[in-house]
Structure formats: structure tokens, C-alpha cells
Amino acid sequence: MKFIDKAKIYVKGGDGGRGCVAFRREKFVPFGGPSGGNGGKGGDVIIEADDRLQTLMDYRYKRHYRAKNGQPGSGSNKHGRSADDLVLKVPVGTVIKDAETGEIIADLTEKGQRVVVARGGKGGRGNAAFKSPTNQTPTTAEEGEKGEERWIELELKLIADVGIIGFPNAGKSTLISTLSHAKPKIADYPFTTLTPVLGVLEFDISDSIVLADIPGLIEGASEGAGLGHEFLRHIERTKFLIHLIDISDFRERDPVEAFEIINRELENYSPELVKKPQIVVGNKIDILSDKSEIDRLKTFFEERGYTFIPVSLATREGVDELIKAIKEKKKELTAKS
């Protein structure tokens, strides 16, 4: 299934049914009076979060959604039937915005959360509602109200505890497949991962954490280079980040420089992202020629307040230590919240 995390759709609530003008015409009731019933209410358009969905694919091709209109009133004081609501399902984590103003209408972060995005119109009153001591035979009835209509934007932000970031080919896909049961595409060329991938790291039967592998950033992403900032919204909800760097070849790119480049791109997207706690993971120590560089990097990052874990995802060296660090960071941040 193609991953779609943005959509723009038009929604319209149903119109209210019109009121009825009618008079009782019954045997032995010479002055029956007005008997026109009210129109029914138009259906609302409701958006509901559904944890079985993972993409906004359904809204890429169908963009117009209209609830049904209320039924008109009829004689004998019969009110028109109100229309059923139109319920649209979206993944948990969907942000709904007014397309014109940019105002956030709702942020659906839990299964079953609902919001009305276009209210149906009220039904018009029939002539029976206008009877008064001074107007015994009213011939007036109301048209139903028009339903609300608007364009809205749907924006999916994945619900994950930890975001995995780093340059392409740093090993992010291998990392999430090592820590969880996720099966992302893994290959030796840039931008293997073209969409975010979720995985669950289980510490034990009652304790786990959700990881999100974010497609590779590169320098200049804030200006649209590479995949740009297209998927960074998916780590806005995360509690902390795992920043993966390749430390196997200092001649190709210094790991400190790579770390700083990615952090600048985070800051260009949102100053709040770069403030998130980070565990820095130095990958590919199995092919590092000068092992003393590990100590240099450990000193550099720890002096700046970061946890640094050297690993080899190919041989699993250091992976247990990384899992322990992730668990401790989760416990630390949970205690603070």
C-alpha cells in the first residue's frame, strides 16, 4: 500500500429539510388548522481516528465528501427524517486543519476520537410551528438551513516514541530491523527508505517502545535537497531521537560534521526538534581501522550531554548496550513527565 501522509479534501454537511405547509382535512374537523411538520436535520461530516489505518491513501483520489440532506416535513404534523452522519476514518495521529486559515481543527491522537468538520443544517419549521392566537392559519414554512462546507487539510504525524535520524546509508533501516520486527527495504544505495517505517522494540512482555525510521536527510534538505523535510513531521511527537552516524570512514565524512549537519537541518525545520534528547549511535565499528576514534567521539558527545553508543549492526556488537540505553532514556523521560 502506498504511504500517503497528506491530503486536501472538501467536506459539506447535509442541508436541512424544508418545512411543510399543510392543513388538517378530516371529517368532522371543520377547522383543523395548520399541520405542516418540520424538516429533518442534515447529516454532519465527522472524522474519526481508526488504529487499523496507516495512510491517507483513501483521500488521495476522492476529494469531495457530502453528507445527505434532511427529509422535508409533511402533513399531519409529520417531521422529516434527519439524515445519517457521514463518518470518515483516518489514521490515529492525523492533524486536521482549515485549508483557508491554517487553523488546527483537531489533532486525533487516540483511537475513536471524533470531530465534526462540517455540521448539517437544521430543518426548516413547518407552518404548524407558526400558529398563534393572532394567526390561526399560517401559510409560512421555512427552508432548511444549508450545511457547513469547507476545504480541510489532513496531515498524518506518526505516533512513535523514538525517531531514528541520520544520513542515507548510515544504517537506519538495519537498526530498526535489528531492534524490532519491522522489515524495511535494505540496500547499499542512498534513499533506500522512501517512507517512514514503524517498529516496536519489546523490552519484556509488558514494556515496549515504538520506533520510527525517518527517510534520510542530507545537507540542504531545508531547501528541498534529497527528500527535503517531507517526513520530519513524523518525529515531532517523539520523546527522543536516536541519531545514527557512520564512523567507518573518517576520510569520506567526519562523524562530528555529519552529526552537526543533520542537527542544523532539524533546527531549520523546527527549533523544538533539535532540543529533543538524543542518543548518538556510532555504527560500523567492525570496519573502523582506527579504534581510538571511538574514544575521541565518546568524549566529544558526552561532554555535550549526549549518550554515545558505538555499535556494529552487522555483528550486533554493542546492540545490547544500545537497547539498555534506550530503556533507561525512556524511564528517565517518563519520570520527568
* pLDDT tens track for 174-193: 898 889 875 544 444 444 44
Amino acid symbol at 192 = T
Instruction: State the Cα–Cα distance between residues 83 and 44, nearest whole angstrom.
Output: 8
Top pLDDT among 211 and 220 is at 211
Rounded to the nearest 10 degrees, what angle do helices 319-336 and 172-179 cross at?
80
Using 50, 70 and 90 to split pLDDT, how confident is the model at 31? Answer: low
Q: What is the pLDDT of residues 123-138, one digit of tens each?
A: 999 999 999 988 888 9
pLDDT(233) > 80: no
Compute the distance between CA of residue 241 and CA of residue 161 in angstroms, rounded to an integer: 9
Q: What is the pLDDT of residues 250-271, one digit of tens each?
A: 667 789 998 998 898 888 888 8
Type of residue at 38: N
* DSSP secondary structure letter of residue 76: T
Contact of 19 with 38, CB cutoff 8 Å? yes
The arithmetic mean of pLDDT across residues 105-113, rounded, is 94
Question: How would you classify the pairing of strands 207-213 and 278-283?
Answer: unpaired
- Of the candidates 129, 5, 17, 14, the residue with the CA atom closest to the CA atom of residue 65: 14
Q: In the sheet that 197-204 helps form, which strands lie side by side, from edge to edge?
A: 197-204, 207-213, 162-165, 240-246, 278-283, 307-310
Q: Which of 15-24, 27-36, 57-66, 202-211 has the lowest mean pLDDT?
A: 27-36
Exposure pattern of 139-163 as b/e (b: 16+ CB <10 Å)? eebbbbbbbbebebbbbbbbbbbbb
> How many other C-beta atoms are found inside a 10 Å radius of the C-beta of residue 224?
10
**Shortest CA distance to 170 belongs to which of 254, 73, 243, 234?**
243
C-alpha cell at 213: 525510521
What are the sequence ranges of the domains in the chain?
Answer: 6-156, 162-336
What is the percent of the chain with per-residue pLDDT over 70, rounded to a whole number? 88
Q: Which residues are 115's β-sheet partners? A: 47
Which range in 86-95, 216-225, 226-235 is most confidently predicted, on average pLDDT? 86-95
Domain boundaries 162-336, corresponding CATH code: 3.40.50.300
In angstroms and rounded to an integer, the radius of gyration of the C-alpha atoms of the chain is 29
Helices assigned H by DSSP within the chain: 58-61, 172-179, 255-269, 271-274, 292-303, 319-336
Does residue 95 surpass a pLDDT of 60? yes
Fold of 6-156: Spo0b-associated Gtp-binding Protein; Chain: A, (2.70.210)
